[in-house]
Amino acid sequence: MSDIKFSKDETDRIVSKVKSYFVEELDYDIGGFEAEFLIEFFANEIGPYFYNRGLSDANSIFSEKTEEIGYLVQELEKPTTRGFNSEVRHPPMQPEGIPEKQLQAV
């Protein structure tokens, strides 16, 4: 994970939120300098947990959508025939490891 850098405007807004929280919730006035150090601490020590959770969530969604696309592509399969006048249709191939009940739900 590379370091996350915020613009001056973003940093100012975050510092303002931290300062407001301290005053409203803890009845303690924290300076901007202290707030920036606190933000840096949380970003370095706790930020990776949030970052990793975001990656995990994104990966789960990507996997689900990729599976859905696979089913949609299967639905595009054309029936195959034997000979010139034969109307024999073969069902689409079932992907390995996916129960029939789960395929019917799609």
5-60 pLDDT tens trace: 889 999 999 999 999 999 999 999 999 999 999 999 999 999 999 999 999 999 99
- C-alpha 23/C-alpha 39 separation (Å) is 16
- C-alpha 57/C-alpha 37 separation (Å) is 29
| Mean pLDDT score of the chain | 86
- C-alpha 18/C-alpha 53 separation (Å) is 23
Supply the pTM of this predicted model: 0.58
What is the secondary structure of 42-77 as a DSSP string? HHHHTHHHHHHHHHHHHHHHHHHHHHHHHHHHHHTP
Q: Which residues contact 20 (CB under 8 A, 6 or more apart)?
A: none
